[in-house]
Structure 1
């Protein structure tokens, strides 16, 4: 068994890299051999992580009404030009209406209890060529969503380049997608592959692969804060912090034991991988994996709740010292 085979299976989730999964996300998961090592090496070299997210649905729209809402939102009510699965450009309310009529031919009901379109957001850090992101999404969708209706569009209203893609849940044979959490990770890995084909060096790894304990805020939370409002998540966090300060009790890490065990397991895998790569004469790759292992072991285990508590206590302590002086 070659090193790439072992790493791909460990990184992607045993056998997923070799045997495409039936059902789940669109198109199965056929990755190039060595994709696991490629992403881990990029992470070790601190290359930017790609982002692929499915925003939470807002409102109660379903069926074709929900699809219409998707397309109007990502096109900014027709002011932005969409591109569909056939490479056709769609601009304005009339052409969006024509596109919706095409989607209806796939048997999407006017009213449905199920989600009939998936809105996926692909993004990269500021400074990434926007055209490269759009071209990578085009190739991603062409391979992953064959037989589905879809449209995508680049948004330039934020510093980081990002593309919205709306894809029908049903394909031309009426079969529905059912993407799961691991499918989303595999989509990130595939998107990273497409970004590298565009000449952008990047990584797609899980937080656990990098030893990170804290989960970032969701896109929805960030959007709410950008509008100057406080999300329900932030309100709940504030209440928890106030209670912890009243009790003068630092919040516990609810999964510290599991987190440390995972870090140790991942570190052992990296040590083995670096050793095998070095023996095979791949010293550059071995050094990158060793750096990644070092980052994992040095990563802070503090949760967000603990970090907020420590920050407040630290500022209060500093203020007390200043007063005493």
Structure 2
């Protein structure tokens, strides 16, 4: 059974993350869902309900940067913006008036501290865009209303004038970092998870099946690329990325040296996976004891289906090893002289 397999790095490491079909509040205490809520969350996870995405895409450190983002997400006034009062802002002039009302030039730390946060809330293609927008408004009211000024814009492939508009509906939410009381907003990893849960709940309230499962419970171990790197690789190709080339060179060195030692973060991933699996199987055992064998079996099946844990470094190393083997195999087919030439190329 796959749950006995430590996965992509080693079968000897042991390890650790809390499995709770799984929710934590920002301060770390377990969120009590109640039996019905916990079961519903478990079913959404094992049936792979669509996962919401809430990510911070950046934020300006000057008033000018924040104004530029207002213009960017509204496509210079072509798309409607909704402010924290639920009012619709249309056209370049109204967008400029809304920005002026934020008094960004009076915020502390101009040029040093982030003056606003740019957040993206999205769902897979095919989701009702208006319900995504309504859920984003509900999320913002529950999370930010009365604390921070904010505004948002819905982007869809049909309405976004950008030539490369993605197919999935998403909302660009811009939040003023300095609150009404002068306190600054700090977005941490636990904050983002809590925000994902709130956004998913708002979507479910509107009849859209949505989940906010932690990465470890879904078996995801590779971190997503930063926005800048993603667009750079999309525009020029992955091989043109200095970051990617450096990782390839490191992989070649390790393969030539026969290095097998795991990096500390890879050991942590193995540990998280092992503990996640233990908690999943314990949850299955508990539900079975309560008489819900169907859910228990579904949890076990989900645990067995998790992919082998893998980081980008591990994936690149595997790609390089496969390519080197291909070169060697071609050399064998062409004869010893050609094989020696290929080895010189590898160096």
* TM-score normalised by structure 2 residue count: 0.75
Is the aligned partner of 1:11 residue 2:23?
yes
Partner residue, 1:154 = 154
Partner residue, 2:121 = 122
Greater Rg by CA: 2
Partner residue, 1:134 = 133
Deviates more, 1:212-221 or 1:6-15: 6-15
**Post-superposition offset of 1:233:** 3.0
For the 8 Å contact 1:9–1:16, the answer to whether it is kept is no
For the 8 Å contact 1:250–1:309, the answer to whether it is kept is no
**Post-superposition offset of 1:187:** 0.9
The residue matched to 1:131 in structure 2 has which SS?
helix
Q: CA separation in 1, counterparts of 2:175 and 2:23?
A: 27
* TM-score normalised by structure 1 residue count: 0.80
**Post-superposition offset of 1:178:** 1.6
- Aligned residue pair count: 303
Deviates more, 1:310-319 or 1:157-166: 310-319
Q: CA separation in 1, counterparts of 2:116 and 2:253?
A: 41
Which residue of 211, 233, 248 corresponds with 1:238? 248
Q: CA separation in 1, counterparts of 2:84 and 2:34?
A: 24
Structure ranking higher on relative contact order (CA contacts 8 Å, 6+ apart): 2
**Post-superposition offset of 1:71:** 1.0
Is the aligned partner of 1:267 residue 2:277?
yes
CA root-mean-square deviation:
3.1
Q: CA separation in 2, counterparts of 1:184 and 1:300?
A: 25
The residue matched to 1:170 in structure 2 has which SS?
coil
For each residue in 1:236-288, what CA deviation from the matched residue of structure 2 results, as whole angstroms up to 9, or x when unmatched? Answer: 32332343455465674544443333222222221221122223333443333
Is the aligned partner of 1:144 residue 2:143?
yes
**Post-superposition offset of 1:194:** 1.7
Q: CA separation in 2, counterparts of 1:253 and 1:48?
A: 32
Deviates more, 1:216-225 or 1:86-95: 216-225
Q: CA separation in 2, counterparts of 1:34 and 1:241?
A: 48
Partner residue, 2:333 = 324
**Structure 1 segment 180-191 matched on structure 2, within 5 A:** 180-191=188-199
**Post-superposition offset of 1:318:** 4.3
Identify unmatched segments of 5+ residues in structure 2. 1-17, 157-164, 335-347
For each residue in 1:134-183, what CA deviation from the matched residue of structure 2 results, as whole angstroms up to 9, or x when unmatched? Answer: 22111111111111221111223112221110011233333322221111
1:238–1:320 distance in 2 versus 1, CA, 3 Å = closer
For each residue in 1:44-101, what CA deviation from the matched residue of structure 2 results, as whole angstroms up to 9, or x when unmatched? Answer: 21222211110234xxx53422321221121122221111111211122211121022
The residue matched to 1:171 in structure 2 has which SS?
coil
Is the aligned partner of 1:281 residue 2:301?
no
**Structure 1 segment 296-307 matched on structure 2, within 5 A:** 296=306, 299-307=307-315
Partner residue, 1:108 = 107
Partner residue, 2:11 = none
Q: CA separation in 2, counterparts of 1:32 and 1:91?
A: 44
The residue matched to 1:11 in structure 2 has which SS?
coil
For the 8 Å contact 1:251–1:306, the answer to whether it is kept is no
Which residue of 186, 209, 225 corresponds with 1:178? 186
